[in-house]
Amino acid sequence: MRPQPLARIASGLAAAVALCGVLALQSCRSSPAQVDRPPGYPIGFIQRGVASWYGPGFHGNKTANGEQYNMYQLTAAHRTLPLGSIAVVRSLTSGRQVTVRINDRGPFVKGRVLDLSLAGAKAIGMTGKGTDEVELRVIGYVPKAGGMGVLRVQIGSFADPRNARALLAQVGPEFPDGLIREVDLPEGPRYRVQVGHFRTESEAQAASARLDRKLNVESFVVRDDG
């Protein structure tokens, strides 16, 4: 086989490099970077997962937006959607759906994405079994004064405030902006330790996973409405 002239080799290399550049550009265009929220967030937000419901033990308690919880109204609790979001919740088992307003925070149970009021749960037929696979789609939003808050990671919830202060002190060097939120639950007051100040869900989830490993806890990403 005769050796190729250097000029021809150089020309071939340049063409290959140009082709790789075109392919890389096309790949970038066909695989846009993942974003935390759709345009116009929260309208357009879609999520699938397990929903539960809460009722008598919480009836009359203050919700995250300052209202009294009324289990006979069509409302729901979500950990990160802005308060005032209006969502259509559809059961993936029965196909029944209901429109609810997000006015509270929860559920604080791993593997669940939504806590419906008793009325909301009855509307899709899930009160008997307690939980259901659902799809929620945000179709409206009535913002509260001050807009939506930042995202934080809740790393603990305690009946004894001393335990909450001890955990907050433990993570203080890394999260000097950490705080303790006192909430009234049917079983008595609870003191929730929340840390961080995140703008995107992906940043908050990454911090949550790291804190779970470091502290051996089950943390939750929550939106700070304070």
Give the pair of three-digit tokens for residue 102: 């997000």
The pLDDT value given to residue 40: 87
pLDDT confidence bin for 221, thresholds 50/70/90: very high
147 phi-psi bin (left φ>0, alpha ψ -120 to 50, beta other)? left
Residue (of 59, 102, 82, 111) closest to 218 by Cα position: 111
Give the residue from 118, 75, 80 showing the smallest Cα distance to 100. Answer: 75
Does 128 lie in the same domain as 92? yes
- pLDDT given for residue 186 in this prediction: 83
Looking up residue 103, the CATH number of its domain turns out to be 2.40.40.10
Is position 105 within any domain?
yes
Judged on CB neighbours under 10 Å (0-12, 13-18, 19+), 208 is buried
Of all residues in the chain, the percent with pLDDT exceeding 70 is: 84
The predicted-structure confidence for 144-199, as pLDDT tens digits, reads as follows: 877 788 999 999 999 999 999 999 999 999 999 999 999 888 889 999 999 999 98
**Cβ atoms of residues 75 and 120 within 8 Å:** yes
The confidence band for 14, taking pLDDT boundaries of 50, 70 and 90, is very low
More confident residue, 97 or 15: 97
Is residue 176 within 8 A of residue 164, CB to CB? The reply is: no
pLDDT at 36: 65
Last residue of a domain, one of 107, 141, 175: 141
Q: Are residues 169 and 108 in the same domain?
A: no
Q: How confident is the model at residue 207 (pLDDT cuts 50, 70, 90)?
A: very high
Residue 96 reports pLDDT greater than 80: yes
Same domain, 52 and 114: yes
Alpha-carbon dihedral sign for residues 155, 151, 202, 135: positive
Tokens (6 digits) for 10 = 């150089």
- Positive/negative CA dihedral, 176, 182, 187, 188: positive
Domain of 26? 1-32
- Answer yes or no: are the C-beta atoms of 107 and 154 closer than 8 Å: no
Q: What is the pLDDT of residue 225?
A: 84
Of 79, 111, 141, the one marking the end of a domain is 141
pTM: 0.81
Task: Say if residue 98's pLDDT is above 50.
Answer: yes
How much is the mean pLDDT over the chain?
86
The more confident residue out of 126 and 2 is 126
pLDDT digits (tens, 9 = 90+) for 27-77: 334 333 445 677 789 999 999 999 999 988 899 999 999 899 999 999 999
Q: What percent of the chain has pLDDT above 90?
A: 71
Residue 179 has a pLDDT of: 96
Lookup: tokens for 166: 């001890």
Residues 52 and 137 in one domain: yes
Residue 128 pLDDT grade (very low, low, confident, very high; cuts 50, 70, 90): very high
CA distances from 16 to 13, 27, 51 (A): 5, 16, 53
Residue-level pLDDT at 17: 38
Instruction: Give the per-residue pLDDT at 48.
Output: 97
| Tally of domains within the chain | 3
